[in-house]
Structure 1
Amino acid sequence: MNNKQCRKLKRKDLKIKNLVQFSLTILILGLIIYLSSVLYFRIDLTSEKRYTLTNATRNILRNLEQELFIQVYLEGEMPIGFKNMRRATKELLDEFRIYSGKKVIYEFINPAESHDQKVRNEVFRELDSKGLKATNALFSDKEGGRSQKIIFPGAIVNYNGMEMAVNLLKNNPLLNHSQNLHNSIEGLEYEFIHVIKNISSDTIYKVAFIEGHGELDEYQVGDITMELARFYHVDRGIIGGKPGILDDYAAVIVAKPREAFSEADKFVIDQYIMNGGGVLWLIDAVRVDWDSLEQTGVTVGLIEQINLDDQLFKYGVRINPKLIQDINCAIIPINIAFVGQQPKYVPAPWLYFPLLFPLENHPVTKNLNLIRSEFVNVIDTVGVEGRIKKKILLRSSKDTRVVSVPVFIRLEDIKDPPAEREFNKPFQSAAVLLEGEFESVFKNRMISQYIKNQDVDFRDHSIPNRMIIVADGDVIRNEVSVRADRIIPLTLGQDRYTQQTYGNKEFILNAVHYLAEETSLVEIRSRTLTLRLLDKTKIINEKFKWQLINTVLPVLILVLFGLVNRYFRKRKFA
């Protein structure tokens, strides 16, 4: 065989080899593409695992039996912050779609798409009636001017003929725009999955307001009742000393009782707690007659006797008959007109209405606005060290004063407030979460008179459980409006004089969620994403340096690469 034939064979072998390599490459790429369409995985390298769904979320999505449709109203021209929220929402819903087996279907809709103002207004009214909250946003338009636009940062979830609204924007006036948007993006998974869980679940938890002890009526808690009804079956009723009457409820609410509890009713609540029932206590230890104060300008704060002190003490708290005064407080209208003249009202700070601070490191209070309170008391944790875990949820500011009762309360005190140096009792606790195994207040007591049915078992210790105690019954109370013989509940937490909406509704809702539901969703709400904002001072000081690095350095690298490449090519082929 001559050299020419050898070269032909080598060339043929090389072609075959190249063809085989090319075929293998195509085959491997095709296999990768196929597997990527069937299998799904991603590696989350962030320290807080911000792109990883929790196990609770995955389980809820996998258990969807039908298709779930989500309409997100974040489309069209909007500020960059809302565009970031849109991107984060899309990424989250893509994850939902994968883990649900493509049962989650979503679309983004621009509610302001129509050029007809009447049509847009009709769409806005419809979204508002469904529970979505609008916000006004300012942003730069294409011509460089400033534009204002109504945005509905929310979604409507549809499943099996039912629909629920999801509001995505957390608008805390204490925080700046960037922090509010960050907190909103941080809470996307919780907001969506909580609604998905409720709308797709066959089980509807029941919640009850206790009656029979002068508690707030259905109108005074009407707003929070309507909000709770989105997630729970809500009842109201009298205990009547009947053991087991509360057993079907995931949580019960005791909202500002004004009359003493009988021992029989206390026994029913105690055994409900021992068997794992959650209780939200909203208790006043001091009685203040606001109507008398409005009409006469003076009233007396006295101890409220409702016969719960021993029970709450046994569980781990004491509500002291002391009133908190706080420089950080709400305002009330005061008539400054002289007698006989037309009333003239001006807003004035009222020290007895503190604006309570929620602690940020707990799911119940995370990302909440201030909580508006009225004649709030001081709450202490007591005893049961180690067995009961105690967590302060709400507290006053550093400029706090504590007033013991009995005390005369006068509207005239607004004109002559205490000296600032007297506000020297900072950070008074106003709400506490207790978790653990509680001991029955009826342990080692005669209980035969409370048990009519011999089949009822008495427990002297609870299973692991939780309860929340708030030292102000007005935290859950909404104002009412009377129109044409109709009583209309107003928005809980809204100040009628400043139109500021405080975090009362979200606080109560979170508290009930925490007490009534399994802990899986708590894991989601507890997640924290690090807000990595740019250092504006450093940007200004080092602007030129980074401009050089980003523009000149890449060019220099390319030139250097070209020179090195040319040098080695010359050496190789010289």
Structure 2
Amino acid sequence: MNRKIKNIAILIVGLIVLNILSQSFYKRLDLTADKRYTLSKTTENIVSKVDELLFITVYLEGDFPSEFKRLQVETRQYLEELAATNTNIKINFEAPDNQREALIKRGMLPSQLTVEEEGKLSEAIIFPWVEVSYGKKATIVSLLPNAIVASQDEQLQKAIENLEYSFSNAINSVIQKKQKRVAVITGNGELQDIYQYSFLSEVAKKYRLAKFTLDSVATKPQQTLKDLTSLDLAIIAKPTQKFTEKEKLTLDQFIANGGKTLWMIDNVQADQDSLFTNGKMLAYPRDLNLTDLLFSYGVRINTTLIKDLYAAQIPLATGKVGNQTQFKNLDWYFHPLVGGNPNHPITKNVSPVRLQFANQIDTLKNNIKKTPLLMSSLLTKKVGTPSFIELQSIADEVVEEDYNNGHQLFAVLLEGNFKSAYKNRVKPFETPLFKENAIDNKMVIISDGDVGKNQILKEQPFDLNRDKWTNQQFGNKDFLLNTVDYLLDDEGLIQLRNKTLQIRTLDKQKAFKERTFWQFLNIVLPLILLFSFGFVFNYLRKRKYS
């Protein structure tokens, strides 16, 4: 009796010790081949900064297509990994059924999916959204990437690949105590605010946004430069007036002192409104006096326009039925639809970007690393300027042999040590902030000023990613937002967009054709084996003990 009590006491003590050890030494094992549940160093660093409760609400609960159960499971497993890393992270899955209108008002638009089950197609609506809340700050995350994909399975794969970047980016944005500062440069005829609203309103959700005019350079150049160097990024969107030497030195020294820049430059004057009004327009070179500045960084924007057979559409009147004018959407080769670099995080999984009367970029040899971001298709044609462009040319028969100029570069990322354009030159004004070189800086140059210009519908800014006439979807806003994130990214966060996973999906057609066999194999056969085993076991038992 004493021995039994002793053994029970040892067992209880052992269980208590084991429980204490399990609390102190916690380890999760990732046995997947692609290590999909292993957090990157970047994510671990971001999650470690969460020092108060952070709530993650996932609206992916309820009855929805079976393939998106996979997205739910992957999301849950990934979030459990985050919660295991930091106990301040709390996760909640909610069904959106009773709060759909409220979610839509908060910007969480539903996705309509075509579902194939048992050989039949049906429609389903889901809310693939997540809300991340931290103190008084909150942000929303879409679980479905806005990219052109060949199939729903590919969309699912890209969604799962994007989980770590999406959540790390959202968490990083809400825990930041000091926001980076972005200047929207004005003073040289740049785009008006209403035409940049769709893009800049998204930038303002993550960064401090302010307009910065270069007009004061004429009277207070030193103070203007000092004020500008206190900012982190300058956006120059479609300037139309020539830059003075003082203004150029100000931008040059902003870069030399570590400032990041996003250039959206039109080197050709081509007015789309004039084209639609008069049926033709004169396209001619625009002198912005930036050639030597960009040349010193290793880039030249030419004054040729590029026509691309892979192009966006514009609506044109094709006739009348009764009193109603009939419109048809036709390809307009002066509006190239350009693809992104699939190997760079700025453009990976981004839909084609629409450009309008874009110019070709040449890169020059120097010590700057140059990464192409946006490229045309192979079927391009160069159009010199000045030249007249007529709207009726859209009906001209296409001769593919004329479109043989190959890939054209429209956007390039520059990284490295930039040499000042005013090194060993007479300066338009003296400043104690002058530096001859920028150390480890980066900028993006886009040869189209309209890449960030949204349309206006009923005096309100329209979504940059859509055309109000044709309803075509583009990747302009995603591309520009990724660019801003990359230029301001000190965490290496955007590199997570390059994560690649191998998602093994079911062949639905094969499964449907062979479903009888697999139902028999998984349901009927085990019952037959169990019955056979019971019969044989019972027979042998009776024979042995009869």
Matched, 1:526 2:508: no
Alignment of structure 1 residues 35-54 onto 2, 5 Å: 35-54=21-40
Kindly report which structure 2 residues correspond to 1:300-319, keeping only aligned pairs within 5 A, or say none.
Answer: 300-319=282-301
Give SS of 2:500's match. Answer: coil
- The CA deviation string for residues 176-212 of structure 1, in whole angstroms up to 9 with x for no partner, is 2111121111111211221211111111111111111
Higher relative contact order (CA 8 A, sep 6+): 2
Is residue 2:395 matched to residue 1:415?
A: yes
Kindly state the Cα deviation for residue 490 of structure 1 after the two structures are TM-superposed: 0.7
User: Which runs of structure 2 are paired with 1:256-335 in the superposition (5 Å)?
Assistant: 256-335=238-317
Matches of 2:21 and 2:287, distance apart in 1: 70
Tell me the distance in 2 between the aligned counterparts of 1:374 and 1:348.
15
Note if 1:467 corresponds to 2:443. Answer: yes
SS at match of 2:438: coil
**Counterparts of 1:401 and 1:532, CA distance in 2:** 42
CA contact (8 A) 2:60 2:95 kept: yes
Larger radius of gyration between Structure 1 and Structure 2: 1
What is the CA–CA distance in structure 2 between the aligned matches of 1:201 and 1:248, rounded to whole Å? 18
* Cα gap change, 1:106 to 1:474, in 2 (>3 Å): same
Closer/same/farther in 2, CA of residues 546 and 151 from structure 1, 3 Å limit: closer
1:221 maps to 196
Q: Name the CA distance, whole Å, in 2 between partners of 1:19 and 1:329.
A: 84
TM-score (norm 2): 0.88
How far the C-alpha of 1:417 sits from its partner, in A, is: 3.8
How far does residue 45 in structure 1 lie from its aligned partner after superposition?
3.2
Give 3-state SS (helix, strand or coil) of 2:195's partner.
coil
What is the identity, as a one-letter code, of the residue corresponding to 1:229?
A
Find the aligned partners of 2:509 and 2:364 in 1 and give their Cα distance.
48
Of the three residues 110, 114, 117, the one matched with 2:95 is 110
Task: Report percent identity of matched pairs.
Answer: 37
How far did 1:138 drift? 4.2
Structure 2 letter corresponding to 1:450: F
**How many residues were matched structurally?**
527
Match status 1:393 vs 2:378: no
The residue that corresponds to 2:221 in the other structure is none
**Alignment RMSD (CA, Å):** 3.2
Letter in 2 for 1:443: K
Q: What's the secondary structure of 1:292's corresponding residue?
A: helix
CA distance in 2, matches of 1:47, 1:380: 42
- Structure 1: gaps of 5 or more residues: 1-11, 115-122, 563-574
Looking at structure 1, the residues matched to 15 and 510 of structure 2 have their Cα atoms a distance apart, in angstroms, of: 46
Whether the 8 Å CA contact 2:312–2:354 is kept in 1: the answer is yes
AA of the residue aligned to 1:405? T
Is the contact made by 1:250 and 1:517 (CA closer than 8 Å) also made in structure 2?
A: no
Report matched runs for 1:464-503 at 5 Å.
Answer: 464-482=440-458, 487-503=459-475
Q: Structure 1 229/136 Cα, relative in aligned 2: closer, same or farther at 3 Å?
A: same
For residues 426 and 23 of structure 1, do their structure 2 counterparts lie closer, same or farther at Cα, with a shift above 3 Å needed? farther
Distance 1:90 1:492, change over 3 A: same
Contact 1:134/1:150 (CA < 8 Å) preserved in 2? yes
Which segment drifts farther, 548-557 or 124-133? 548-557
Q: CA contact under 8 A between 1:157 and 1:196: conserved in structure 2? A: yes
Matches within 5 A, 1:12-31: 30-31=16-17
Q: 1:148 to 1:536 in 2, by over 3 A?
A: closer
Task: Answer yes or no: is the 8 Å Cα contact 2:369–2:416 preserved in 1.
Answer: yes
Q: Of the candidates 421, 429, 435, which is equivalent to residue 415 of structure 2?
A: 435
Tell me, yes or no, if the aligned pair for 1:250 and 1:515 is still in contact at 8 Å. no
Deviations 1:15-50 (A, max 9, x none): 96x998887676555544443344332222334321
Give the one of 151, 156, 170 matched to 2:145. Answer: 170
Give the Cα–Cα distance (whole angstroms) in 2 for the partners of residues 61 and 322 of structure 1. Answer: 48
Q: Using a 3 Å threshold, how does the CA distance of structure 1 residues 421 and 531 change in structure 2: closer, same or farther? A: farther
Amino acid at match of 1:228: V
8 A Cα contact 2:457 2:468, kept in partner: no
Q: In the alignment, residue 375 of structure 1 is paired with which amino acid? A: F
CA distance in 2, matches of 1:264, 1:226: 30
Contact residue 285 and residue 319 of structure 1 kept, 8 A: yes
CA change 1:32–1:558 in 2 (3 A) is farther
Task: Note the alpha carbon deviations across 1:318-377, whole angstroms, 9 max, x for none.
Answer: 111111111111111112348x98643221110101111011111101111111111111
Distance 1:544 1:130 in 2: 46
TM-score by length of 1: 0.84
